[in-house]
Amino acid sequence: MPLVASRLGDWLDERTGHRRALHVALEEPVVGGASFMYVMGSVLLFLLVLQTVTGALLAFYYSPSASDAWGSVAYIEDQVTLGWFIRGLHHHGASAMVICAGLHMLQVVIYGAYKKPREVTWWVGVMLLGLILAFALTGYLLPWDQTGYWATKVATGIAGETPGAGVEVQAALQGGNEYGNLTLTRFFALHVFVLPALTFGLVAIHVLLFRKHGVTPRWGRSAEELERRAQPFWPDQLFRDVAAMAVAFAALVAWVLHTGGAGLDPPADPSSNFDARPEWYFRALFQMLKYFSGPMETVVALGAPVLVGGALFSLPFIDRGADRSPRRRILALALVLGGFAATGALTMISYRADGADPELAEREAQSDRLAARARRLAREHGVPAAGGIAVYTTAPWYEARKLWAEHCAGCHSGEDREGPLIGPGYNNRAWIRGMLTTPSGDTYFGRTKLAKTEDAMPETEATGADLDALVEMVYAETGAADADQALAARGVEVFGEQPCGDCHERTGTETSSGPNLAGRGTPAHLRAFIADTGLPQFFGDKHQMPRIADDLSPAQIAILADWVIWLRTASDEDVKRLDD
């Protein structure tokens, strides 16, 4: 077997030269010896590969369109096996890259690795940091949820204030004058095609330049000492790199498990008002903008990134001395460390300010409840072709409640209503009993004009078992399956004995001074009643309710009738659950 493997290796090496490539890749000497101080570059490369792999897995399910984006992400989160975990790795992996890039930059600055002859290596690294942040910015929009939509809209709005070419820049990002589907597809193209191509190209250049110049050893050591302490990349430094990668991956996995993944806000709603908050790595700029207003806000928003980037690019020119000892480079270190400190302070202030705002906390809690509802509806009913906020239309009784709110709630719910209260339990036995015993009560006809005339319905004289029978008779007219027909039959006798028959008929569509009780509460009765209470078999010319048939179609009226029937057996909790 070893002989076969050796021959196979020889055959492959003759055609690919892989042994030479492995020698070049693994046996490079690390001047001054292996160190954990050099691991961040390898960790960043590992995280970049992880982002590529998880991004590719997500792309199998993601749909980059304004109508499908939120639904596809919700599907990944809630229905794809381990989809929430993969997306969590990808989402929080972006933060991990920013953190590791910051640590890598600090190590480079402390060691003076931006100095001659490594200036170009440093500049390429600064550009890679900018690309990492660009990845974060473009990826933020892709779920097409409230946070991504509004935060990115703010960002493109700031870009639109760029002197000279602002309008063109904003139009290029948005795909026109409006913020919509083309905006999403362009951000997707940037995130998946353009930025990866630029990033991997710069990474290749960065690695080649690093291999050309080697590591920057710790200051204060002689050339002889550095040479004496040199170790090969394999296995000494590679072991440390792999160990650091494992620690970074374990920390990332632990964080994803702790947070439950990336989360998903409610679908983007352009008609709403939303408290847009950027990710933590843009919080410093967000907080800084609070201290400025008017034109100065735009100047700071556009100028701060340019100023920071310019300062980092200028570092090799600011600190051109040969000495790499931190004590000799106070200005350069103060510039970079001061920037980190200011960024951290502004970020902390931003989070503290939000934490002390109870109104913001309530709005965020409401947004969380809305997000949970949207995701539950997506799981149970799917997302309609219209996508996004159309998911709410799949909720039980959505159309009925919408019609009710627009055409009925003003008169039949709330403190300012003018008609009987219609809600959970309407037309059940308890409601009917109350209506018979106190028809002019506030819950019933007390707020109508009818209660204040001589035609007002009097309180029934029936009591005890007779009242129970009369209630059951009226209840049985609804067609309820649980009606006691024997008791209802006794109710018919009580109906005849009481003055009820003087005002109410019980058959067909015959008219009298009061509504005909035939089929009262059945679908057919309610459809006719809702359409026009002024029909002779109902209230006739004494009606107060407008003719709904003039505003709604028969299908819409039928939906309202079904809603009223459902309310008969519903409780307050049942109605409340419709909003959960």
Please say if the pLDDT value at position 91 is more than 70: yes
Percent of the chain with pLDDT over 90: 68
pLDDT digits (tens, 9 = 90+) for 101-137: 999 999 999 999 999 999 999 999 999 999 999 999 9
What confidence score (pLDDT) does residue 23 get? 66
Percent of the chain with pLDDT over 70: 99
Mean per-residue pLDDT, 237-251? 95
What confidence score (pLDDT) does residue 20 get? 76
What confidence score (pLDDT) does residue 226 get? 75
What confidence score (pLDDT) does residue 341 get? 96
Q: Is 214 helix (H, G, I), strand (E, B) or coil?
A: coil
Please say if the pLDDT value at position 6 is more than 80: no
pLDDT digits (tens, 9 = 90+) for 22-42: 766 667 777 878 889 999 999
C-alpha span between 140 and 267 (Å, rounded): 13
Question: What number of other Cβ atoms are within 10 A of residue 100's Cβ?
Answer: 23
Mean per-residue pLDDT, 531-557? 90
Which pair of structure tokens corresponds to residue 421? 């209260």
- For residues 225 and 38, the model is more confident at 38
What is the value of pTM for the model shown? 0.85
What confidence score (pLDDT) does residue 423 get? 94
pLDDT band per the 50, 70, 90 thresholds, residue 509: confident
- For residues 4 and 398, the model is more confident at 398
Residues in the chain: 580
Please say if the pLDDT value at position 157 is more than 90: no
C-alpha span between 40 and 130 (Å, rounded): 17
Mean per-residue pLDDT, 285-297? 90
Tell me if 504 sits within 8 A of 517, measured CB to CB: yes
Which of 85, 146, 413, 365 has its CA nearest to residue 273? 146
C-alpha span between 82 and 62 (Å, rounded): 15
Burial 377-396 (b: 16+ CB within 10 A, else e): bbeeeebbeebbbebbeebe
What confidence score (pLDDT) does residue 451 get? 73
What confidence score (pLDDT) does residue 245 get? 97
What confidence score (pLDDT) does residue 26 get? 66
Mean per-residue pLDDT, 205-229? 86
Give CATH for domain 31-277: 1.20.810.10
Could you tell me the CA-to-CA distances from 12 to 7, 16, 19, 341, 409 in Å, in that order?
9, 6, 9, 53, 79
pLDDT digits (tens, 9 = 90+) for 254-271: 999 999 999 999 999 998
Helix (H) or strand (E) run with residue 30 in it: strand 29-30
Please say if the pLDDT value at position 165 is more than 90: no
C-alpha span between 187 and 153 (Å, rounded): 12
- C-alpha torsion sign, points 262, 390, 152, 352: negative
Q: Where are the domains of the chain?
A: 31-277, 399-577
What is the DSSP-derived secondary structure letter of residue 547? -
Q: Is 29 helix (H, G, I), strand (E, B) or coil?
A: strand
What confidence score (pLDDT) does residue 508 get? 80
